[in-house]
Structure 1
Amino acid sequence: MTSMTVRPVPDAPLDATEPRRPERTTPRPEPRLRALDGLRLVAALMVAAYHYGGRGGEITHAWGSSPEKQFPTLHNYFAYGCLGVQIFFVISGFVICMSGWGRPLKSFFASRASRLLPAYWAAVLLVTAVFALPMVTYKALSPSDTLVNLTMLQYPLGVDRVLGVCWTLWAEVRFYALFALCVVLPGATRRRVILFCAGWTLAAAITQGARQPLLDIVFMPEYAPFFIGGVGLYLVHRDRKDVYGWGIVAVSFLIGQHYAVKELWNAADPNAFAHRTSFGIALVVALGFVAVAAIALGWLNWANWRWLTVAGALTYPFYLVHEHLGWVVVRALHIGLGLPSAETFALTVLSMLVLAWLLNRYVEKPLTPRLRAALAKMR
Structure 2
Amino acid sequence: MAKLDEAVLSADRIGRHEPRLAQPSATRRRGRLYVLDGLRLGAALMVVAYHYTAIGAAPWNKPASDVFPEVSRFTGYGYLGVQLFFVISGFVICMSAWGRPLKAFFVSRVVRLYPAYWVAVIATTVTLAVIPGERQRLAWHDVLTNLTMLQEPLGVRPVDAVYWTLFAELRFYLLFAVLVWVGLTYQRVILFCCVWGAATILLAPAEPGPLRTLVMPEYSWFFIAGMAFYLMYRFRPNLLLFGIVGVSFCASLAPSIEKFRHIPRIGEQESWPVVAILAVIFGLMSLIATGKLSGVQWKWLPVAGALTYPLYLLHEFIGWEIIGHFAPRGIDPWVLVGATTAGMLVLSYLVYKLVETPLSRYLKSRLS
Normalized against structure 2, the TM-score is what?
0.91
State how 1:205-224 maps to structure 2 within 5 Å.
205-224=201-220
Matching residue of 2:107: 110
Contact 1:194-1:244 at 8 Å conserved across structures: no
Q: Which moved more, 1:240-249 or 1:99-108?
A: 240-249
- Residues 1:66 and 1:240: Cα distance change in structure 2 (over 3 Å): same
How much does 1:318 deviate? 0.2
Q: Which moved more, 1:296-305 or 1:75-84?
A: 296-305
Matching residue of 1:199: 195
User: 1:286 aligned to 279, 283, 291, which one?
Assistant: 279
Asked if residue 157 in structure 1 is aligned to residue 154 in structure 2, the reply is yes
Q: Name the amino acid aligned to 1:35.
A: V
Matching residue of 1:355: 347
Q: Deviations over 1:244-300 (max 9, x none)?
A: 22121111111111211122135xx9x724534221111111111111221121211
Matching residue of 1:51: 51
Matching residue of 1:36: 36
Asked if residue 258 in structure 1 is aligned to residue 251 in structure 2, the reply is no
Stretches of structure 2 that go unaligned for 5 or more consecutive residues are none
Q: Quick one: distance in 1 between partners of 2:125 and 2:177?
A: 32
State how 1:357-376 maps to structure 2 within 5 Å.
357-376=349-368
Matching residue of 2:169: 172
- Residues 1:247 and 1:6: Cα distance change in structure 2 (over 3 Å): farther
Contact 1:233-1:292 at 8 Å conserved across structures: yes
How much does 1:31 deviate? 1.3
Q: Deviations over 1:329-376 (max 9, x none)?
A: 21233223x221111111111110001001001111101111122122
Q: Name the amino acid aligned to 2:187.
A: R
How much does 1:164 deviate? 1.0
Q: Name the amino acid aligned to 2:322.
A: V
Q: Quick one: distance in 2 between partners of 1:37 and 1:343?
A: 27
User: 1:66 aligned to 63, 68, 75, which one?
Assistant: 63
- Residues 1:296 and 1:14: Cα distance change in structure 2 (over 3 Å): farther
Stretches of structure 1 that go unaligned for 5 or more consecutive residues are none
Contact 1:47-1:85 at 8 Å conserved across structures: yes
Q: Quick one: distance in 1 between partners of 2:346 and 2:236?
A: 38
Q: Quick one: distance in 1 between partners of 2:111 and 2:68?
A: 39
Q: Quick one: distance in 2 between partners of 1:290 and 1:30?
A: 22
Contact 1:154-1:161 at 8 Å conserved across structures: yes
Matching residue of 2:125: 128
- Residues 1:134 and 1:233: Cα distance change in structure 2 (over 3 Å): closer
How much does 1:54 deviate? 1.3
Matching residue of 1:319: 312
- Residues 1:128 and 1:212: Cα distance change in structure 2 (over 3 Å): closer
Q: Quick one: distance in 2 between partners of 1:6 and 1:72?
A: 53
C-alpha RMSD over aligned residues: 2.5
Q: Which moved more, 1:126-135 or 1:226-235?
A: 126-135
Q: Quick one: distance in 1 between partners of 2:85 and 2:218?
A: 14
Contact 2:133-2:324 at 8 Å conserved across structures: no
Q: Quick one: distance in 2 between partners of 1:262 and 1:67?
A: 21
How much does 1:240 deviate? 3.1
| Count, aligned residues | 361
Contact 1:235-1:242 at 8 Å conserved across structures: no
SS in 2 for 1:249: helix
Q: Name the amino acid aligned to 2:205.
A: G
Contact 2:29-2:234 at 8 Å conserved across structures: no
Q: Deviations over 1:308-330 (max 9, x none)?
A: 00000000000000001101221
Matching residue of 2:232: 236
Q: Quick one: distance in 2 between partners of 1:237 and 1:160?
A: 39
- Residues 1:334 and 1:14: Cα distance change in structure 2 (over 3 Å): farther
Q: Quick one: distance in 2 between partners of 1:274 and 1:173?
A: 28
- Residues 1:138 and 1:6: Cα distance change in structure 2 (over 3 Å): farther
Contact 2:233-2:289 at 8 Å conserved across structures: yes
SS in 1 for 2:136: coil
Contact 1:54-1:274 at 8 Å conserved across structures: no
